[in-house]
Amino acid sequence: MTAALSVSQLSFSYPDGHAALSDVNITIETGQRVAVLGPNGAGKTTLALHLNGVKTADTGTICVGDTTLSDGTVGEIRRRVGLVFQDSNDQLFMPTVGEDVAFGPANLGLKGSDLDGRVAEALHAVGATDLEDRAPHHLSGGERRRAAIAGVLAMRPDILVLDEPTSGLDPAGRRELISLLQELPITQIVITHDLPMALELCDRAIIMDAGEVVADGATSKILQNSELLSQHRLELPFGFDPATLRT
Amino acid sequence: MHAPDGFLNAATAVTTGAISAGTISAALRQARTSLQDKQVPLAGLAAAFIFAAQMFNFPVAAGTTGHLLGGALAAILLGPSVGAIVVTIVVIVQAIAFADGGLTALGYNIFNMAIVTAFGGWAAYRILRRVLPNSAAGVVAASGLAAGTSVILSSMAFSVEWLFGATAPVPFDTVFGAMVGVHLLIGVGEGVITGMAVGAVLASRPDLVYGAQDLSKDQLANRKPISTRTFLIGGIGVALLFAVVISQFAGTSPDGLERVAEDTGFAASAQGSAVADTLFSGYATEGIGNETISLAVAGASGAIITALVGYGLISAVRLRRPKVPA
Amino acid sequence: MGAGHAHALFVHEHSKIHHLAPEAKLAAGFVFVVAVAITPREAIWAFVIYWATLLAVIRIAKLRFGFVAARLSVIVPFVLFAVFLPFIASGEKVEVVGIPMSPDGLWAAWNVLAKASIGASVSIILAATTELPDIIRGMERLKVPAVMTSIASFMIRYLELIAGELGRMRVAMTSRGYDPRWLWQAKPIAASAGAMFVRSYERGERVYDAMLSRGYTGAMPDLGHRRAGRKDWLTVVAMPAVGITVALTAIGFT
C-alpha cells in the first residue's frame, strides 16, 4: 500500500548558506498521527513548507500518495496537503471567515452552491458555523485557529499538517482543539511543543534538531527517554509522567 | 493635506485626476514586474503599515507632535512604484471610508500626497545618493533629506495647483509662502523620522530596503557615521538648491524676465494673454505682488516638480543590483 | 493629517441604504458630489436642496444627525481657512458690522464651507451604511483595478493588527520611562516604526505562503457576492438625479 507521505533525502539550505534541512527521511502511513518535536530553529516549520511545495528543496523527493512533488504536480499536492500555520492571522487574510474558507475551494474551481456547500461543510466539521460572517480580527485565538483549520479542510486534503496548533490557546480552547483533531479521520502531522498533547493525540513522534531527524518511534517511548529529551532542549511538564498513563 | 471637495476648480480636479490615474497605471505595470505574484500581500501589508504609521505621532518640540506622511519612506523601502501605489490606496480609503479628503479632490490629493512624495522623494534620494558616501550612513542621510524634500515638493505642487484652480481670492504668493513655509518645518520632522526608520530597517533586514539594493555587504557594514556637520551642510545645500533654482527665474532683470514670461504665455498682464486667461484662476493671479516674479516662481516650481517626478518615474526601472562575486 | 483613523464609521443598522449593493451607493454618491462641486456658489437655493436631500438620506439610513455632524469635524481645518478668507482675501472690502471684509472672500468662504460639508457628509453616510470590505468590493465593481482593491482589502484586514502592535510597542517604551518631547528624542519611535515595517513585510511573505498553500496562482478568486441589480440602481438613482438637475439648472441660470 502506498504511504500517505514519503519524504526521502530532503535537504535545503537558505541563500546565506545556513543548512535548514539535512537528509530528512520520513514515511507516514494513511491515518497515522505523527508528532514532530524539537527545539526552536530545528527546521520543523521549514519542513512543513516543503511538504506542500511552498519551498523547494535543493535535493530529495517528496511523494504524497502516488504523486511525486514537481512543478507540474504542485497544484494537486497543495490540495492534498493542508497546512495550518503557526499564526492563524497569517492564513485568515480575507475580510470574513466565510470568504476565507471559500478561498481554497474557489481556487479549485468551485462556484455557486457547490462553493457554499463546501464552506458550510468545512465550518461544520470544526464547529464554527456561527463564525461565518465574522471578521477574523474580532475572533479569539481559539476561534481563529478553528477558522483556519476550516479553511484548510475545505480543500478536502489527504494530510493535515499543523504547526504548533495549541500555542496561545487557553486550556479550554486547547481541549476543544485536541478533541477536534481526534475526531478528524485524516492523516495528521502535528508540530508541537505541547508534549502531553503529543502523547494524547499521536502514537508516533519524531524529534528534529538542526535540520536532521534524530529520533523516530512510539511517542510514549520517546517521552520516557529523559536524556534524549534534554539533549534536544525538550522537557516534560512538571508532574507529568508518561509511564503512568496509557501507552 | 487632504483637501475637501470644491477646494480647487473642476478643471484642476479633472486634470490632476487624469495625471494621477495615468501615473498609477504605469506604476502598477512596473510593480508587477518587480513584485510579481507577491504584489498583493506584500503591498497590502505595507499599506497597512503606512496607514498605521500615519496614525502615530512623534514629538516635534516642547511636547507638540507631528505625523508622518510616509511617501518617501514607502518609496525608499518598497521602490517608488509600489510606494506610490501603497500611499495612493491609503489616500483613497481615507477619502471614501473616513471622509478625510473629498471624493472629487482625489485627483490632486493623490498627486500631492502619493505621486509627488513617492516619485519626487525617490528622485531626490537618487540624486543625494550620488553625492553622499556609499554606506549605511549615506543611505540614512539621503533618505532623511529626500523625505524632507518630498514634503516641500508636495506643498509646492499644491501651490501650483492653486494658481490654476483657486476658488478663493488668495494670491499665489501668499499660498506659496504659507504652504512651503509651514511644510519646511513639517519636512524636517518627516526627514528625521524617515532617516532613522530606514536606518532601523537597514540594521536588521537590509534586503528589505529597495533603495539600498546597490550596496554590497562591505559597504553596508561600513558603520562610519556621517558627521552632524556634513548632514547639516547637506540639508542647507538642499534648501539653497531650491532657493537658487527658483531665484534664477525670479532674477534681477525684470525686463529680460518679462520678455521670457510673455514669450511663454505666463504674463497675465493688462494685455490679457489668452492662454493665461483660460489657464490661471483669476483669483490666484489677482493681487499678486509682482506678477512676473510670482508666476515665474510658479513656473520654476512646476518645472522642478515635473523634472523630479519624471526622473523618479524613469529611475524606478533602472536600479542596478550589485555584482555578486563569483 | 492622517491621525485618528482607527475608528471606522460603520454604524450597524438595518435600513434601505444599508442593504443596497455597495457599487450603487458609491456611484450615486460620487455623481452627487460631482454635481455639488460644479454648482456655482451664487446659487444658494441649490445648496439648500442638496442639504435637504442629505437630510432625507440620513433619515432613511436611520442615522442620527448628531452622528454625522460630529464626524464632520474632519473638515475643521478648512472651516478655519474659510473663516479667515474674508479678512485675508485681496480685492476691495466692504464694511460688515464695522469690520472690513472682502465680498469675494465671503463668497469664497461660503463656497468652501458648503461644498466641503456636503462632500464630507456623503462620505460619512456612505461609510456609515457600508462595511469597509463591501466598499472595496463596490470599488472593484466600478472598474477600479482589481490589483488595487485586493491590496486595499489586505490593508484593511491587517490594519488593526499592525496598529495594535505599534500601540503595544509604544506602551512598552512608555513603561520604561520614555517620554520624548523633542524631535531628536524620537529615535526609539522611528526605530520601532522600522521594526514594525520589517515585521509587516515578513507577515506579508507568510500570508503569500498561506495563499499559495491554498491554491493561489496569481489572481484572487471570485467568491460570488451579490451584484447590484435593477432594484439597487433604481433606488439610488434619485440622489444623483437631483444633483445633476439642480447643478445644470444653477449653471444655466448663471
**Is C220 part of any domain?**
no
Total number of domains in chain B: 1
Which of C176, A158, C148, C16 shows the shortest CA–CA distance to B39?
C148
* Grid cell in block for residue B257: 524676465
**Predicted pLDDT at B176:** 83
**C228 within 8 A of C23, measured Cβ to Cβ:** yes
**Predicted pLDDT at B285:** 66
Asked if C69 and C178 sit in the same domain, the reply is no
Asked if C202 and C243 sit in the same domain, the reply is no
Asked if C117 and C22 sit in the same domain, the reply is yes
CATH of the domain at B28: 1.10.1760.20
**B118 within 8 A of B87, measured Cβ to Cβ:** yes
C-chain residue closest to B100, CA distance: C74
B-chain residue closest to C168, CA distance: B56
Q: Measured on CA atoms in the order B139, B142, B148, B153, is the torsion positive or negative?
A: negative
* B42 half-sphere exposure, CB direction, 13 A CA radius: 20
Angle ∠(B68,B70,B76) on CA atoms, nearest 5: 140
Closest by Cβ to C213, choosing from A54, A89, A108: A54
**Is B4 part of any domain?**
no
SS3 label, residue C101 = strand
Measured CA to CA in angstroms, residue B304 lies from B82, B153, B236, B246 at distances of: 23, 8, 18, 9
Which positions in chain B touch C157 (Cβ < 8 Å)? 44, 48
**Is B5 part of any domain?**
no
Residue ranges of chain B whose pLDDT lies below 70? 223, 226-231, 243-279, 281-293, 317-326
pLDDT tens readout for residues C70-103: 999 888 888 888 888 877 776 677 777 777 788 8
CB pairs under 8 A between B and C: 304
Distance CA A217, CA A203 (A): 8
Residue ranges of chain C whose pLDDT lies below 70? 1-7, 90-91
**Is B322 part of any domain?**
no
Closest by Cβ to A79, choosing from C158, C203, C215: C215
**Predicted pLDDT at C9:** 81
Under CATH, domain A5-235 is a member of which superfamily?
Answer: P-loop containing nucleotide triphosphate hydrolases (3.40.50.300)
**Predicted pLDDT at B321:** 52
Range of the domain at C246: 16-139+227-253
Q: How many helices (H) and strands (E) does chain A have?
A: 10, 10
**Is C5 part of any domain?**
no
pLDDT tens readout for residues C184-202: 788 888 999 999 999 999 9
Domain residue extents for chain A? 5-235
Range of the domain at B187: 10-315
Element (H, E) at A205: strand A204-209
**Is C28 part of any domain?**
yes
**Predicted pLDDT at C37:** 94
Per-position DSSP letters for B23-71, written without gaps between them: HHHHHHHHHHHHHGGGHHHHHHHHHHHHHHHHHSEEEEETTEEEE---H
Chain A: nearest CA to C58, how far in angstroms? Answer: 26
pLDDT tens readout for residues A174-193: 999 999 999 999 999 999 99
Q: Residue A148 pLDDT > 90, yes or no?
A: yes
Distance CA B11, CA B14 (A): 5
Asked if C104 and C161 sit in the same domain, the reply is no
**Predicted pLDDT at A52:** 93
**C232 within 8 A of C20, measured Cβ to Cβ:** yes
Closest by Cβ to C183, choosing from B89, B192, B201: B192
List of residues 6+ apart from C34 with CB closer than 8 A: B104, C243
Measured CA to CA in angstroms, residue B224 lies from B137, B194, B221, B320 at distances of: 7, 19, 9, 24
**Predicted pLDDT at B264:** 46
pLDDT tens readout for residues B105-156: 999 999 999 999 999 999 999 999 998 889 999 999 999 999 999 999 999 9
**Predicted pLDDT at B253:** 43
C-chain residue closest to B104, CA distance: C34
Query: What's phi and psi for A151, nearest 5 deg?
Result: -60, -35
Whole-model pTM?
0.89
